[in-house]
Amino acid sequence: MADSTIPIISLSSPTASTATQILSAASTHGFLFIANDSTTISPSDIESMFDLSKTFFASPSSEKEKFAIHTPAAGGVNRGWVRMSGESLDPTQSDGDPKEAFNIAPPYPSLQPLPSPLSASADLILRFQTTCHQLCVTILKLLGEALACPDEAYVSARHDLSRGASGSIFRMLYYPPSSTPPCDHRVRAGAHSDYGSLTLLFRLPGQSGLELLGPDGAWTSVPVSPAGVSLPPPILVNIGDLLCYWTNGLLKSTVHRVAFSGGGERYSMAYFCHPLDDARLESVESRVIREFGDKGKEELTSQRKRLGLSGEEGEVITAKEHLERRLRLTYGL
Ligand SMILES: O=C(O)CCC(=O)C(=O)O
Ligand SMILES: [Fe+2]
């Protein structure tokens, strides 16, 4: 899979052909770019969020520690600060990813407690989360159209955050500089697939490192700005596990990782879009999925194995149960 084959799609005036392009990228690569042309998320908000993230990660560890992930002080499970080497995205690597992170859930009903550099910019954070979620819903609606679902809004409607709790999380990431990787097999973020429906990934020019695992078992790097794209970089969209379940394996929840790639410091931000907690992860009624048949069986079986669900083929789980299983594997919760 060559880098250049991940298409850059503009959502400035989406048509049926836009929907088809999204479906095609999602079912071949599990990744696509959305043009950062001001029609979706404000490029200046992206820039301001990166500035805020840099200020936050530069604050003393003793301050960040007060909002340690999963603690009541940070607002509970999957919220708050992950210290250096505090999690392994690849559960087979127990030494922890050399990175820090901070997770912020959408307000439900109100925003979680935040440390001072972040709380002072709560309006920006809320606006950013909201526009990220809207972009995800737009993409999900277009996917529903391209999949020829009798209920085109089946998936997108399950992402209406006004209707209940969901596992959606906005995450800021910081990878400190390192001239030598601690040991050969270690990467900055271990190999994994994402837990939700869609992930939006924001990266900075000159800070590469993201790699995708191809069907041939080889890792390919994903450029921050594909050739020919002027700044700002496009928004990278990653298909998560849940869309793989809903489409019977047609959409690919591709395994990826962050490699050292030069070892300079690196900041990234991810919006992990999840459906409402009670959404059931069963195949959606769709002509395209029906025609695809059971060709995604291998993909689905490996997903279920990762969750410890092997041998329970018919069992349907909810989005909440799925997230709990993934968090248990990542953090030993
Ligand atoms: O930092 C990145 O570019 C990717 C991080 C990632 O894949 C994740 O946090 O799920
Ligand atoms: Fe990821």
| pLDDT tens digits along 116-129 | 999 999 999 999 99
User: Which of 313, 268, 271 lies closest to 101 in space, CA to CA?
Assistant: 268
Are 181 and 263 spatial neighbours (Cβ–Cβ below 8 Å)?
yes
Residue 193, ligand 1, Cβ within 6 A = no
| pLDDT of res. 272 | 98
pLDDT tens digits, 173-182: 999 998 766 6
Residue 88, ligand 1, Cβ within 6 A = no
State the virtual CA torsion across 46, 236, 239, 181 in degrees, nearest 10.
-100
Domain boundaries, the chain: 3-331
Residue 101, ligand 1, Cβ within 6 A = no
Report the atom number in ligand 1 closest to the C-alpha of 268.
1
Residue 172, ligand 1, Cβ within 6 A = no
| pLDDT of res. 312 | 57
Report the atom number in ligand 1 closest to the C-alpha of 272.
10
Q: Cis before residue 176, ω within 30 degrees of 0? A: no
Ranges 28-32, 92-96, 117-121, 248-252: which has the least confidence: 92-96
Are 110 and 126 spatial neighbours (Cβ–Cβ below 8 Å)?
no
Give, for ligand 1, the residue of 170, 221, 258 to mutate: max count of ligand atoms closer than 8 Å to Cβ.
258
pLDDT tens digits, 170-205: 999 999 998 766 655 579 999 999 999 999 999 999
ipTM above 0.85, yes or no: yes
Residue 13 DSSP class: S
Axis crossing angle, helix 43-57 with helix 122-146, rounded to the nearest 10: 130
Is the pLDDT score of 34 beyond 60?
A: yes
Residue 194, ligand 1, Cβ within 6 A = yes
Report the atom number in ligand 1 closest to the C-alpha of 199.
10
- Closest C-alpha to ligand 1, atom 10: 194
Residue 203, ligand 1, Cβ within 6 A = yes
CA of 229 to the centre of ligand 2 (A): 23
- Compute and round to an integer the Cα radius of gyration of the chain: 19
Report the atom number in ligand 1 closest to the C-alpha of 194.
10
Give whole-number Cα distances, 104 to 19, 79, 112, 214, in Å. Answer: 30, 6, 7, 31
The CATH number fitting domain 3-331, selected from 1.20.140.10, 3.30.565.10, 3.40.50.620, 2.60.120.330: 2.60.120.330
Residue 256, ligand 1, Cβ within 6 A = yes
* Block residue for tokens 């097999």: 185
* Block residue for tokens 């301050």: 63
State the virtual CA torsion across 155, 160, 161, 164 in degrees, nearest 10.
-90
